[in-house]
């Protein structure tokens, strides 16, 4: 779809009521506006796809994404940019530079945080550690215990941001590495139950940190068949109590707009994922009234 059309459609996208804020409230004056931008599974794709590509002709490209992010930030200074993992592996850039270029370019785009995907271990935990000096953004991982590895102390379970007087809490959740990553690559990294850790972390963000908006960066995957018995984002959304938005990755799921899921408190949680390879940029706009009730407006923008 034409990029300009996507941008123009942003204002016309359907409004999703959150936190008991009615749909009719979109006609009321909006007091505060927070924009969340996100990517996932970029897999070292930096250049635009060639014009003759069978699936993504003339799409993607980090320079285009940078221009789009810059435009949105100029429209709303209260903007955060996140990535849901699998930054590495997929083009010769990773083969030659081991992730250095990816982290440097993300830093130039001023990403605020990212979580860790399974392919980010493809050069081993030593390879990931070696690239940390090039990452001028936070790596968030709540359910990977790196205590006995080089990565100990180099990730955080969550981070909070304050924009326009609103406190936003963001935490990271990763997929089970066993079966996806060779044990000699992730070494003594301990995988903790993602549902239990998510519930503990969101509770801390809500009760201790007093966050007005809680976001999960997840690399679990959007959805799996019941017989696979694997944690996914839709299950996570149903189990949570306070998480407002789950930004997903891993399954390369192209969503035009967020999926609405009723959480454990019968409130609405948004689940979004924008495919792979930097083709799309996710955008969620949250609007808050004076009582900090909110509505959300979400689209996927083709880069």
Query: Is 24 inside a domain boundary?
Result: no
Q: Is residue 2 predicted with pLDDT exceeding 70?
A: no
Distance CA 140, CA 142 (A): 7
Distance CA 163, CA 211 (A): 11
Give the domain extent around 277: 29-289
pLDDT at 18: 35
Distance CA 48, CA 106 (A): 16
pLDDT at 52: 96
Alpha helices in the chain (DSSP H): 3-10, 62-75, 92-97, 100-108, 124-131, 183-186, 194-207, 233-239
Query: Is 93 inside a domain boundary?
Result: yes
Whether 274 and 303 have beta carbons less than 8 Å apart is answered as no
Question: Mean of the pLDDT values across residues 168-184?
Answer: 97
Mean pLDDT of the chain: 90
Distance CA 277, CA 42 (A): 4
- In the sheet with 166-173, reading across from the earlier edge strand, the strands are 158-163, 166-173, 213-218, 245-247, 268-272, 259-262
Query: Is 14 inside a domain boundary?
Result: no
Whether 30 and 292 have beta carbons less than 8 Å apart is answered as no
Query: Is 55 inside a domain boundary?
Result: yes
pLDDT class for 21, splitting at 50, 70, 90? very low
Q: For 102-147, what is each residue's pLDDT tens digit?
A: 999 999 999 999 999 999 999 999 999 999 999 999 999 999 999 9
In the chain, the number of structural domains is 1
Query: Is 143 inside a domain boundary?
Result: yes
Distance CA 12, CA 7 (A): 10
Where is pLDDT greater, at 26 or 19? 26
Query: Is 4 inside a domain boundary?
Result: no
Which residue is associated with the tokens 């941001």?
Answer: 161
Question: Mean of the pLDDT values across residues 50-67?
Answer: 96
Q: What is the CATH number of the domain that holds 265?
A: 3.60.21.10
Query: Is 142 inside a domain boundary?
Result: yes
Q: 194: which residues sit within 8 A by CB, 6+ positions away?
A: 143, 173, 174, 175, 218, 220, 231, 236
Question: Mean of the pLDDT values across residues 28-48?
Answer: 91
Query: Is 103 inside a domain boundary?
Result: yes
pLDDT class for 243, splitting at 50, 70, 90? very high
């Amino acid at each position: 779809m034409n990029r300009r059309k996507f941008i123009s459609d942003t204002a016309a996208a359907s409004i999703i009521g959150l936190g008991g804020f009615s749909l009719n409230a979109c006609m009321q004056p909006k007091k505060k506006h927070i924009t969340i931008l996100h990517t996932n599974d970029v897999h070292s794709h930096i250049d635009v796809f060639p014009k003759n590509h069978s699936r993504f002709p003339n799409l993607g490209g980090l320079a285009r994404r940078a221009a789009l992010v810059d435009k949105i930030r100029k429209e709303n200074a209260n903007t955060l940019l996140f990535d849901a993992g699998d930054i590495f592996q997929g083009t010769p850039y990773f083969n030659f530079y081991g992730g250095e270029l990816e982290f440097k370019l993300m830093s130039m785009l001023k990403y605020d945080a990212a979580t860790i995907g399974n392919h980010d271990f493809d050069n081993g935990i030593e390879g990931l550690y070696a690239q940390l000096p090039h990452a001028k953004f936070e790596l968030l991982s709540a359910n990977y215990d790196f205590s006995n590895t080089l990565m100990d102390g180099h990730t955080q379970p969550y981070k909070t941001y304050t924009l326009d007087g609103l406190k936003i809490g963001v935490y990271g959740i990763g997929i089970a590495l066993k079966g996806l990553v060779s044990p000699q690559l992730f070494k003594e990294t301990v995988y903790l139950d993602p549902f239990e850790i998510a519930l503990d972390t969101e509770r801390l963000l809500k009760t201790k940190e007093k966050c007005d908006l809680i976001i999960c960066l997840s690399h679990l995957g959007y959805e799996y068949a019941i017989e696979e018995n694997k944690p996914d984002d839709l299950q996570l959304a149903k189990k949570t109590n306070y998480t407002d938005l789950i930004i997903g990755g891993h399954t390369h799921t192209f969503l035009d707009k967020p999926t609405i899921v009723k959480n454990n408190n019968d409130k609405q949680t948004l689940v979004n994922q924008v495919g792979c390879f930097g083709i799309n940029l996710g955008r969620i706009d949250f609007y808050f009234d004076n009582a900090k009730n909110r509505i959300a407006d979400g689209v996927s923008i083709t880069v």
